[in-house]
Amino acid sequence: MKSSAVIRSKRPNVLIIHTDQQRYDSLGCTGNLHAITPHIDKLAAEGTLFHRHVTAHPVCMPSRASFFTGRYPNASGVYANGVALPRKTHVTAHPMNAGAQVQAEAISHVPTMPDAFSEAGYRTAAIGKLHFTCTNGPRSSRFEESRIRWSEEDMSAWSGPYYGFDQVELTIGHGEDYTGHYGSWLRKTYPEVAEKVRSGSFRGSGPAKWTLYPSVVPVEAHSSTWIADRAIAYLNSAADQVEPFFLFLGFPDPHFPFTPPAELAERFQDRGTMAYQERAAGTGGVPSPVRKLYEGDKLQNAVRYGDGFVHKARQFTDAMIHLIDISVGRIRETLQHLGLDENTIIVYTSDHGDYLGDYGLVFKANYGSKTLNHVPFMMKVPKKLAELPKECHAAMSNTDVMPTLCQLAGVPVPDGVQGRSVVPLLLGEAESWPVQVTCYDDDPSGHNFSLWNDRYRYTWYPATGERELYDHVSDPYETDNIAGMPSIADVERNLHAALLEQHCLTDRPSLGKSAQW
Q: Tell me which amino acid residue 20 is.
A: D
**Helices 401-409 & 60-69 angle (0-180, nearest 10):** 30
Residue 468 bridge partners (DSSP): 459
Bridge partners (DSSP) listed for residue 37: none
Residue 33 placed within a domain: yes
Strands 123-128 and 245-254: parallel
Q: Tell which phi-psi region holds residue 122, choosing left (phi > 0), alpha (psi between -120 and 50) or beta.
A: beta
pLDDT at 1: 29
pLDDT, mean of residues 108-114: 86
pTM here?
0.93
Average pLDDT, integer, range 45-73:
97
Largest Cα–Cα distance in the chain? 66
Domain that includes residue 394, residue range: 3-278+302-433
- Given a cut of 60, is residue 8 above it in pLDDT? no
Is 283 inside a domain boundary? Answer: no
Q: How far is CA 139 from the centre of its chain?
A: 26
Instruction: Confirm whether 516 is domain-assigned.
Output: no
Lowest-pLDDT range of 42-46, 203-207, 419-423, 446-450: 203-207
Q: What is the pLDDT of residue 206?
A: 64
- By mean pLDDT, which of 94-103, 220-229, 451-460 is the weakest? 94-103
Region of 484 please: left (phi>0), alpha (psi -120 to 50) or beta: left
Q: Over 50: is that where the pLDDT of 17 sits? A: yes
> Is residue 172 domain-resident?
yes
Q: How confident is the model over 500-516, as pLDDT tens digits? A: 999 998 887 655 555 44
Q: Provide the residue type at 429 as one letter.
A: E
Percent of the chain with pLDDT over 70: 88
* Cα–Cα distance, 365 to 302 (Å, whole number): 6
Higher pLDDT: 300 or 110? It is: 110
Instruction: Tell me whether residue 324 is in a domain.
Output: yes
Q: Of 246-255, 295-304, 325-334, which gets the smallest average pLDDT?
A: 295-304
What confidence score (pLDDT) does residue 7 get? Answer: 34
**Is 494 part of a structural domain of the chain?**
no
- The Cα 43–Cα 66 span in angstroms is 24
The answer to whether 378 and 391 are in contact (CB under 8 A) is: no
Q: What is the pLDDT of residues 424-461, one digit of tens each?
A: 999 999 999 999 999 987 788 889 999 999 999 999 99
**Residue 99 pLDDT grade (very low, low, confident, very high; cuts 50, 70, 90):** low
pLDDT in tens, 379-411: 999 999 999 999 999 999 999 999 999 999 999
Q: In CATH, what number is assigned to the domain containing residue 213? A: 3.40.720.10
Q: Of 101-105, 150-154, 160-164, 451-455, which range is least confident?
A: 101-105
Split into its structural domains, the chain has a count of 1
Contact 295, 495 (CB under 8 A): no
**Which of these ranges, 71-75, 205-209, 428-432, has the smallest mean pLDDT?**
205-209
* Assigned domain for 293 exists: no
